[in-house]
Amino acid sequence: DAGITQSPRHKVTETGTPVTLRCHQTENHRYMYWYRQDPGHGLRLIHYSYGVKDTDKGEVSDGYSVSRSKTEDFLLTLESATSSQTSVYFCAIRTGSQETQYFGPGTRLLVL
Amino acid sequence: AQSVTQPDIHITVSEGASLELRCNYSYGATPYLFWYVQSPGQGLQLLLKYFSGDTLVQGIKGFEAEFKRSQSSFNLRKPSVHWSDAAEYFCAVGEGTDKLIFGTGTRLQVFP
């Protein structure tokens, strides 16, 4: 257990509405990541953060933004949700060196 | 570009049988290599990892994996599968850029 929580765990929303997902960690890790998981695609990186206010894009960042105003929280925002963003979203933290990542329980998002 | 291939989408084995899940990667240098397991509705759990040294690594739940540089492979093995091993398994490669590249996963089904 790497002390990662995600909220909400489930969400149903409508196309065009903004959505914010929260990832919270309790162990002060510098690196945090947002992934989406879709059948046939495995996990794909959306954005990641390497410190407070330091973020970078992943391979599927279009339509998503992130913010990290304090070490423990990493927020993922869908500015205007689309049906293609229906997915399961996972947050992860990286511990120390060697790029080992540990994952949160996930958020299941349905965009109608 | 770096990539990870898991050629088997779905594998079915009988309980007690041996298991090998395949993973091939494309990367110029020696990568960091990982196997994760995901039970239905759950997050990803780290099974094992390879960074350097002994090419045969032991993980949790009786799993092991062998790094073969000549074949660019990191196959996961277990000598005797239990029904509780039914899950989806993901191979991942760390490419030294703070990010992991995931394969598309192999779903394991275990028959009694």
pLDDT of residue B99: 87
Q: Is the pLDDT of residue A97 over 70?
A: no
Is the separation of the CB atoms in A42 and A110 below 8 Å? Answer: no
Determine how many CB atoms are found less than 10 A away from the CB of residue A72.
Answer: 15
- Asked if the C-beta of B94 comes within 8 angstroms of chain A's C-beta atoms, the answer is yes
Q: What is the pLDDT of residues A6-57, one digit of tens each?
A: 999 999 999 999 999 999 999 899 999 999 999 888 999 999 999 999 999 9
Q: What is the pLDDT of residues B3-62, one digit of tens each?
A: 899 999 999 999 999 999 999 998 777 788 999 999 988 899 999 999 888 899 999 999
Q: Do B49 and A100 touch (CB under 8 A)?
A: yes
User: What is the share, in percent, of chain A residues with pLDDT greater than 70?
Assistant: 96
Q: Do A48 and B104 touch (CB under 8 A)?
A: no
- Asked if the C-beta of B72 comes within 8 angstroms of chain A's C-beta atoms, the answer is no
